[in-house]
Structure formats: C-alpha cells, structure tokens
Amino acid sequence: MLQKIYDWVDERLDITPLWRDVADHEVPEHVNPAHHFSAFVYCFGGLTFFITVIQILSGMFLTMYYTPDIINAYQSVYYLQNEVAFGVIVRGMHHWGASLVIVMMFLHTLRVFFQGAYKKPRELNWVVGVLIFMVMMGLGFTGYLLPWDMKALFATKVGLQIAEAVPLIGPMTKTLLSGHPEIIGAQTLTRFFAIHVFFLPAALLGLMGAHFLMIRKQGISGPL
C-alpha cells in the first residue's frame, strides 16, 4: 500500500532523485567514528539540529495549551503540567532542551573554531552560524518569561536592564521588547510570546536553511 502511494507521488513529482541525492551523499572518512575516534566532535552540529527539531515539535504542542496573557499564562502552564496527558514530559523536554541546545551549539562552535573551519571558503557560513547562535540565545531569553512566575519575572527584569545598558540603542531596545520603559506587564508578555513563537523561529529556519545549503555546497571541513 505504501509503495503504491509512493509510486503515485513519485510519478507526478519525481521525488526519488531528491532523497537519493541525500541518502547517497558520501561523507569524508575523517568524520566516520569507525575509523577515527576524533570524528565524534563532528556530531555536535547534528545533535544541535536534532535537539532543535525536538524544541520545535514540543513548542508546537505547548502553544496548543498556552495562553499569552498575564491573567491566564501561569494557570495554563499549571494545567498543561498537571492535567494534560504527558504534558509534564513535553514541557520538561522543551525546558531542558532549551539549555541543552545551547551547550551543543557551543561545543559545535568550539570545534569549528579550533579546527579553523571558519576560514576560506567558509567565512560566510561562520557568520551565519554565529547569527544562529544569537537567535538561539534570543529564543532562550524570550521563552523564559512565558511561564509568568516570579523567577521568570525577575530574570527578565535583569535581562532588560542589561539590554538597556547598551550604548545609544539600549533604552529603545528595552522599550521595544517590554512595551513600556519601566513596567514588565501584559505588553511585555505578548511581545515576548510573539518574538519567541513567530519572529525568531522564522529567522532560525531561514538561517539554518542557508547554513545547510552552504555545508552541502562546500562540504564538511577537513581534519585538524
């Protein structure tokens, strides 16, 4: 049955060359752990992508129950954790994954830096990777406020004060994020939710697409 469906789709869209091109792509020997123990350091990028996929899927599940307003936000998170089947597991995956993805990305960045993989002809891909790192940090910061508890409130207050300390654009950046120059309230939560769910994920997907295309074009960097 599945073969018939595949053949029907393939006849119309010719998808076989697409996935065969991915499946048959040769990987350099130096990234094969069976031949080189040091090849494990090349896994950090793939692990980062895998955790990112988990973050996206778990985040989509969380948005089905989350209410982005100051009256119901905390209660919606409480309901998700205590009433929804497997809700506490999914939220736990999203919570810990937010930290783990930063760790994996940091290790991946260290590997690229110490192996000189940012040098010609991969300078642009390095810049894109740094931008992805910044977007991930932004996702972590904006997502921290969403449970709307005291820890999230005070942590966000500190983060906004740090943003305000940036020369020239600091006060404007703080107001843009919080919606008010002094108060963390309904506007702040709404803006953080919109940035976390719409703006930053769109930027992340675009940057990751560019990152993978350049890796495909230039190949995996050589050994140290």
Query: Would you say 119 and 125 are in contact if contact means Cβ atoms under 8 Å apart?
Result: no
Query: Would you say 36 and 30 are in contact if contact means Cβ atoms under 8 Å apart?
Result: yes
Query: CA-CA distance, 113 to 115, in Å (whole number)?
Result: 5
Query: Would you say 144 and 64 are in contact if contact means Cβ atoms under 8 Å apart?
Result: no
Looking at residue 40, its pLDDT comes to 81
CB burial of residue 67 (10 Å; 0-12, 13-18, 19+): middle
Looking at residue 37, its pLDDT comes to 60
Q: Residue written as tokens 């506490």?
A: 88
What are the domain boundaries of the chain?
34-218
Query: CA-CA distance, 50 to 207, in Å (whole number)?
Result: 16
Architecture of domain 34-218: Up-down Bundle (1.20)
Task: Print pLDDT tens along the chain (224 aa).
Answer: 889 998 999 899 988 888 887 777 777 777 776 666 667 888 899 999 999 999 999 999 999 999 999 999 999 999 999 999 999 999 999 999 999 999 999 999 999 999 899 999 999 999 999 999 999 999 999 999 999 999 999 999 999 999 999 999 999 999 999 998 888 999 999 999 999 999 999 999 999 999 999 998 888 877 66
